[in-house]
Chains A and B, each alone.
Chain A
Amino acid sequence: AQSVTQLDSQVPVFEEAPVELRCNYSSSVSVYLFWYVQYPNQGLQLLLKYLSGSTLVKGINGFEAEFNKSQTSFHLRKPSVHISDTAEYFCAVFGNQFYFGTGTSLTVIP
């Protein structure tokens, strides 16, 4: 079985500041890792994914994430956030099925 833990339910950050959203997972099998974003009143859309290879993956809108197998983490980062990044962010793991974390609400403060 797989599971995902998002350690922060809410993250407020000032515009143009860096941000890190934390995600840890557990699994007894090899997994693929994902970050999805949900803007208000919209469906979830894929930000980035880790399948194999380089542990640093880059996604849309300037986001990136680093896979750390020893720490079973897949933290999401952005060096400078914009107001438009205000949204809910979900980490997900796919082994034999998709499992989502409970989400982190990112609020960018002007």
Chain B
Amino acid sequence: DTGVSQDPRHKITKRGQNVTFRCDPISEHNRLYWYRQTLGQGPEFLTYFQNEAQLEKSRLLSDRFSAERPKGSFSTLEIQRTEQGDSAMYLCASSRQGDTGELFFGEGSRLTVL
């Protein structure tokens, strides 16, 4: 069990560029979550997948954000036309369906938009 891994750990980009983050969940976990965390705040829910199906999206997730989990394993989160307000830590977590709630988090991908 290698845990949840996220890549890249840090990304610095210029406003208007596109960025993509990848998350590899724990292999037997069929649920995968994306959260965003800014300084002094708790993780804010963005979206989650059960296998390859995206079951819920937060209203925080604007049209510039898109997430995929094409084969029910790894997931990508893409942000198009980045804005300075997108600067945050993007957290991925996974869990098993039916488990009473424990999320296993990756270390996060920190995005800085200049």
Contact = CB atoms under 8 A, between A and B. Distances in A.
Interface residues of A, number: 24
Contact of A43 (B33, B44, B91): B91
B101 interface: yes
Interface of A is mostly: strand
Q: Which residue of B43, B56, B100 has the most chain A CB atoms within 10 A of its CB atom?
A: B43
Interface of B is mostly: loop
Contacts of A98: 33, 45, 101, 103
Nearest to A103: B42
B40 interface: yes
Interface string B78-114: 0000000000000101000000111101111000000
Interface stretch (A45-53, A64-72, A79-87): A45-53
Contacts of A36: 103, 105
Interface of B: 4, 33, 35, 40-45, 48, 56, 91, 93, 100-103, 105-108
Interface of A: 4, 6, 9, 32, 34, 36, 41-46, 49, 51, 90, 92, 94, 97-103
